[in-house]
Amino acid sequence: MDLSTRNQLSLLLAFHAHQPVENFGHIFQSAFENAYQPFIDILAEFPEIKISLHISGSLLDWLLSNKPQFIQDVRKLVSRGQIELLSAGYYEPILILLPEWDRIGQINLHRAKMKAIFGQEPQGLWLTERVWEPGLPVSLRRAGIKFTIVDDEHFKIAGYKPEELWGYYLTEEQGMEVAIFPGSKFLRYSLPFKLPQETIEYLKAKNQQGKNCITFGDDLEKFGFWPQTYDWVYEKKWLYNFFCALRDNKEWLKTVHFKDILRDTEPTGRVYLPCASYSEMMEWSDNMFRNFLVKYPESNHLQKRVFMVSSVINQLYDKNKKIEEARLHLYKAQNNDVYWHGIFGGLYLVNLRQNAYRHLIMAERIADEIKQQRFPYYQVRDFDLDGREELVFKHELINVIIHPHQGGTVSEIDYKPREMNIVNVLTRRPEKYHRKILYKEKVACGSGGENPASIHNIEAVKEEGLEELLVYDSYRKVAWIDHIYSRCPQVQEIMRNQMTEEVPLWKMDYEYSVSKNIIQLKCLTSDIEFEKFLAVEKNVIDFEYRVNIGDSHSRWLGSEFNLLFYSQELLNWNEFQKLEELKFEDSWF
C-alpha cells in the first residue's frame, strides 16, 4: 500500500528523553514529574496517536531503579503498537567522536536493552544532537540501524529547498545504505510553543502541496521541564488539545511510525549530506561540531584520553570478564553533554566533568589490572594530537600528564583511589552571549503572550554585576605553569590576568628525562637556567625547583597551579591565602 496515493499526510512524531550520566537526583525527579510521566499519561488517553520514543541509557538506568511503574506504562504502549522505540549510543555519545568499535558497541547495548525490557528491537536511531558526518552510514548499518532523523538544516546546507524536505531520503557510504528523515524546524519551534491550530494549518498547507510525510523530532523535556512550559503544556492542556486536534483531522492527517513509512512508501530521493547539525548547534560550534575540540582544549583533552583508554580496552576484548565493567565505565565517560557548550551548561558544569573523569579513571584502572601493568610506567606520545609529544606518567595511585613543549605544564593529575582529576578546571574564555552582559543589551524573557517562549528565545541575566566577573585568560589554565615577572604581582592582578610576564616560560620547550618515579624538566634561555622536578611516591607528589635567573635585575618566579578542590575549607579564599604548603596526600581527600 502506497500512502502517497491516499491524499493523506503522515505525521511522524519523534521524542527524545535524556539526562546526563549520573545527573543530580532532583533533576531526574523534576524532569520525570514535569515531563516524562504526564506526557505518557496523556498519550495513553489517545490510543490512535502514534509516536516514536528514544530513552537514553543514563535515563533508562535511573527509571529502572526509581520508577518501575513508568517502565510498565511505556511497555504497555509499545505492546499495543502506539510507541515505536528508537535507539542511540547507550550513554548518549556524539557518535562521530567515538572510534568505530565504540559506536557499534554503544548502539548494540542500547538495542539489546530495549529488546529485553520492552520486547521491541529498534530499527531507527535518534542521532545525538543530530551531529551528522558522511561516514556514519557504515557504523549505523553495522549496528543494525536502518534509518535516522536529522534536521532540515542539514539539507539546506546541502543546497535543498524547503519544498523538497518531506518524506525520507536514502544515503550511503561504501555501499551501506541508510534512510534519512528531515525534521521540520517549524514544527520544532511550534511544538509546544504555538497554538495547536497553527500547527494544523502548517500541516494542512503541506498536504495541499502534495507532501505525504512530515517529520518532527525534538526533546521530550521541552514538554513540561523546560522553563515556563509545564503550566502551558499540562495545566492549560496544550498537549491534550494538540492530540485532540490530530484526532479531529484524521480524515487527512495521520500519525504513523517510521518503519511504516519505510515499508509503504518510496524514498523522496538520494542525498549526500555534509557535516552538519541543527541550526543552533551550527552557530554554537562555528559550523562544525568538532570545532568544540578546538575552542575548548579541555574537551579535546578528555576526548583524546577517552580514545586512548578505549584503544587499550578494545585490544583486551574477551580476555577477561572484568573488561565489560571497564567498557561500561568508558561508555559513561563518552556521554555527550560534557564535550560542548550551548544553551545549557555542558562543559562548564563541574559535576559532568567530574563524572566523566571518574568513569574514565575507573575504566583505565581496570584495564591496567587486567594487563597486570607494572608501575611506575610512562609513555611519550602525542595523545592530544596537537603535534607535540606529551609525557604520560602512571604510578600505582597517581597518573600525571606533562607537556614538555608547553613549559612542562601539567594538564592532568589523577588520584586513582578516589577517581579524581584534580586539574579538572576550565580556562576563562569569551562566549557569544557575554556581549549581552558586557554591553547591557536588552534581553528577552518570554514570548510576550500566554504561550511560553522556546528556550532558544529566552535570554535573561540572573544576577547583577556579572560583567565584573568576565575575565579572560591568555593561556590555558592547568598546573605547574612557570612565570617570570619583573616585580611581585598583586593577588588581584593575577586573578584578573593583568600581569605582563618578562619571560613566558609556559610557551617554551623544556628538555626532560625520567628516572623511575622522578621526572626532570629543564629550560635554558639566554640568561635563565631553570630546572624543575616532579616525584611521585605512593599518594604524594613532590614539586621542586632549581632556578638561576641571573643578576641583571630583580625578578620574581611564579609557579601557578589551577586545581579543582573538593574541600570546603580550601574553597574559602581567605583560608586559601594562608597556605604555605600543599600536600597531595590521601588524607587531603
| Helix locations, 289-420, DSSP H | 292-295, 297-315, 323-333, 350-371
Three-state secondary structure along 282-293? Answer: HHHCCCCHHHHH
How far apart are alpha carbons 74 and 92 in whole angstroms?
20
Q: Which of 411, 409, 585 is nearest to 505 (CA)?
A: 409
Contact criterion met (CB below 8 Å) for 206 and 464 = no
How far apart are alpha carbons 37 and 263 in whole angstroms?
31
Residue 396: all three cell numbers together: 600505582
Per-residue b or e along 104-133, where b marks 16 or more CB atoms closer than 10 Å to that residue's CB:
bbbbbbbbebbeebbebebbbbbbbbbbbb
Question: Active-site residue 219, yes or no?
Answer: yes
Length reported for the chain = 589
Question: Could you say which of 129, 221, 298, 412 is catalytic?
Answer: 129
Crossing angle of helices 37-44 and 68-79, in 10° steps, is 30
Cis peptide, bond prior to residue 192, ω within 30 of zero: yes
| Element at 512 (helix H, strand E) | strand 511-515
pLDDT score recorded for residue 436? 79
Question: Active-site residue 235, yes or no?
Answer: no
Question: Could you say which of 219, 260, 459, 501 is catalytic?
Answer: 219
- Domain spans of the chain? 3-284, 296-373, 379-429+472-589
Three-class SS state of 559: strand
pLDDT score recorded for residue 3? 43
pLDDT score recorded for residue 465? 79
pLDDT score recorded for residue 568? 60
| Element at 535 (helix H, strand E) | strand 529-537
pLDDT score recorded for residue 261? 97
Order across the sheet with 518-524: list the strands. Answer: 511-515, 518-524, 529-537, 540-548
| Helix locations, 439-553, DSSP H | 491-495
- Measured over the CA atoms of residue 296, residue 297, residue 298 and residue 299, the dihedral's sign is positive
Q: Which of 104, 101, 171 is nearest to 133 (CA)?
A: 171
- State the pairing for strand pair 169-173/269-270: parallel
pLDDT score recorded for residue 538? 83
CATH class for the region spanning 3-284: alpha beta
CATH placement of domain 379-429+472-589: 2.70.98.10
Q: Which residues contact 421 (CB under 8 A, 6 or more apart)?
A: 357, 361, 412, 413, 414, 564
Mean pLDDT, consecutive 10-residue segments, the chain of 589 residues? 64 98 97 98 98 98 98 98 98 98 98 98 98 98 98 96 96 98 96 97 95 96 96 98 98 97 96 96 95 97 98 83 94 98 91 96 96 94 95 95 96 95 95 81 54 62 77 95 90 89 87 94 78 91 83 78 74 62 48
